[in-house]
């Protein structure tokens, strides 16, 4: 009896040890490899690892992941409900302001580094910017930082308005144009193409800045003025009325170009100079100092008009000519070549001064 009981216990122990038999070497290697795949983070397969929402505590489905600036993951539906419906702007985990912001009285999901959201018309607006309900931001335009777009202004294309810039009234900014810093575009003004307006510059009324033009500093472009090409208007310069500045021309300092005057080519108008009326300054000409060019006058070539000089009427100053001091060239007079007109000189009527001539008195 005892022997039979002992045999039964032996058989039971044998069966148990068989069930607990260790893996063979091949089996161990296979299991070890699988275990390494699971425990080694560098070899995790992304499709097998999904983040868990800090609100719902559930795995976040594909396409619904929102990672806050504080790096906490959320299901976009859950965090939208948290921000928009419940009005919380802080992360539910760390309480930092990284999950939401308010824009024009409307709550949005976002954070400091991804603070642009798509408008209904397609443009992008920063939560720190201000866009009035009547203004239009569309296509790929971006309103960033602390920029303001008000009234019936329109920003579209690939245009950028940023910094503390302001676009208002019925103004338009389009193409690849940029308005930045503290610049303002208002009235019915237009900034298009690759033009850039920055600094404290202002473009207003029916003025138009386009091409690769730059308006900056404290410059003002207003009236029906046009600035185009690679032109530069800077400093305290003013371009107004129906004046045009184009090509590679520069207007700077306290200079003013007004009426129907034109400055183009490589011409420069600077200092306190004034170009007005139907006057034209072009080529490599320069009008500087307190000089005045007006009427139907033309200054071109490499000519220089500076000091307190005056060129008016149908006068022409060209070539390498210089008119300066208190000199005046008026009427149908012509000054060209390497001529110099200076001091209190007066050249008027149908007079011609050319070659290497020097005039300091009166020529008629």
- Give the list of residues 6+ apart from residue 28 with CB closer than 8 angstroms, or none: 22
Q: What pLDDT is stored for residue 4 in this prediction?
A: 62
Question: Which pLDDT belongs to residue 122?
Answer: 76
Cα distances from 176 to residues 126, 196, 197, 211, 325, in angstroms, run 18, 9, 12, 10, 44
Contact 141, 156 (CB under 8 A): yes
The three-state DSSP-derived secondary structure of 96-130 is: CCCCEEEECCEEEECCCCCCEEECCCECEEECCCE
Enumerate residues 6+ apart whose C-beta is below 8 A from 5: none
Closest CA to 136 of 169, 110, 109, 175: 169
- Residue 14 neighbours by CB distance under 10 Å: 10
Strands 116-118 and 124-126: antiparallel
Q: Which of 113, 190, 208 is nearest to 153 (CA)?
A: 190
Q: How far apart are CA 159 and CA 194, in angstroms?
A: 9
Residue 173 pLDDT:
98
- For residue 29, the model assigns a pLDDT of 42
pLDDT for residue 6 = 55
Q: What's the predicted TM-score (pTM) here?
A: 0.71
Taking the CA atoms of 35, 40, 46 and 52 in sequence, report the sign of the dihedral they define.
Answer: positive
pLDDT at residue 31, rounded to an integer: 40
Please report, in tens digits, the pLDDT of each residue of the chain (364 residues total): 555 655 665 555 555 444 444 444 444 344 444 444 444 544 444 445 789 998 999 999 888 888 887 889 999 899 999 988 898 888 999 988 888 776 556 777 875 444 566 677 778 888 778 899 999 999 989 898 889 999 999 999 999 998 899 999 999 999 999 999 999 999 999 999 999 999 999 999 999 999 999 999 999 999 999 999 999 999 999 999 999 999 999 999 999 999 999 999 999 999 999 999 999 999 999 999 999 999 999 999 999 999 999 999 999 999 999 999 999 999 999 999 999 998 888 998 888 888 887 887 666 6
Tokens coding 110 = 């976002």
Is-contact 359 341, C-beta < 8 A? yes
pLDDT at residue 18, rounded to an integer: 47
Determine how many CB atoms are found less than 10 A away from the CB of residue 69. Answer: 16
CB atoms within 10 A of CB 249: 27
Q: Measure the CA–CA gap between 89 and 96, rounded to whole angstroms.
A: 8
Distance of alpha carbon 75 from alpha carbon 71, whole angstroms = 13
Buried b (16+ CB within 10 A) or exposed e, 88-118: bbbbbbeeeebbbbebeeebbbbbeeebbbe
Helix (H) or strand (E) holding 35: helix 25-39
Contacting residues for 20 by C-beta, under 8 A, at least 6 apart? none
Burial class (CB in 10 A: 0-12, 13-18, 19+), 326: middle
């Amino acid at each position: 009896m005892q022997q039979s009981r002992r045999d039964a216990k032996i058989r039971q122990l044998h069966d148990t040890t068989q069930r607990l038999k260790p893996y063979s070497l091949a089996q161990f290697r296979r299991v070890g490899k699988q275990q390494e795949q699971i425990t080694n983070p560098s070899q995790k397969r992304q499709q097998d690892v999904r983040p868990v929402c800090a609100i719902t505590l559930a795995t976040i489905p594909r396409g619904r992941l929102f990672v806050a600036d504080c790096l906490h993951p959320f299901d976009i539906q859950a965090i939208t409900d948290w921000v928009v419906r419940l009005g919380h702007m802080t992360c539910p985990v760390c309480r930092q302001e990284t999950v939401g912001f308010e824009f024009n009285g409307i709550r949005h999901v976002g954070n400091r580094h991804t603070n642009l959201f798509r408008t209904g018309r397609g443009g992008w607006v920063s939560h720190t910017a201000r866009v009035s309900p009547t203004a239009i931001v569309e296509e790929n335009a971006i309103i960033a930082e602390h920029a303001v777009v008000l009234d019936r202004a329109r920003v579209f294309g690939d245009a950028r308005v940023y910094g503390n810039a302001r676009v208002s009234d019925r103004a338009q900014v389009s193409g690849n144009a940029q308005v930045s810093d503290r610049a303002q575009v208002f009235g019915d003004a237009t900034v298009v193409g690759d033009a850039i307006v920055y600094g404290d510059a202002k473009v207003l009324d029916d003025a138009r800045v386009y091409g690769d033009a730059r308006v900056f500093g404290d410059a003002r472009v207003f009236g029906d003025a046009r600035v185009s090409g690679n032109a530069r208007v800077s400093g305290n310069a003013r371009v107004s009325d129906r004046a045009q500045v184009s090509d590679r021309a520069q207007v700077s300092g306290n200079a003013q170009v007004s009426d129907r005057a034109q400055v183009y080519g490589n011409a420069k108008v600077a200092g306190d100079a004034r170009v007005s009326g139907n006057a034209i300054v072009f080529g490599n000409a320069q009008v500087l100092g307190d000089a005045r060019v007006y009427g139907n006058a033309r200054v071109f070539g490499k000519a220089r008009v500076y000091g307190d000089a005056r060129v008016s009427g149908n006068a022409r100053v060209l070539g390498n000519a210089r008119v300066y001091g208190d000199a005046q060239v008026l009427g149908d007079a012509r000054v060209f070549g390497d001529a110099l007109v200076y001091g209190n000189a007066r050249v008027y009527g149908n007079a011609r001064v050319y070659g290497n001539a020097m005039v300091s008195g009166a020529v008629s």
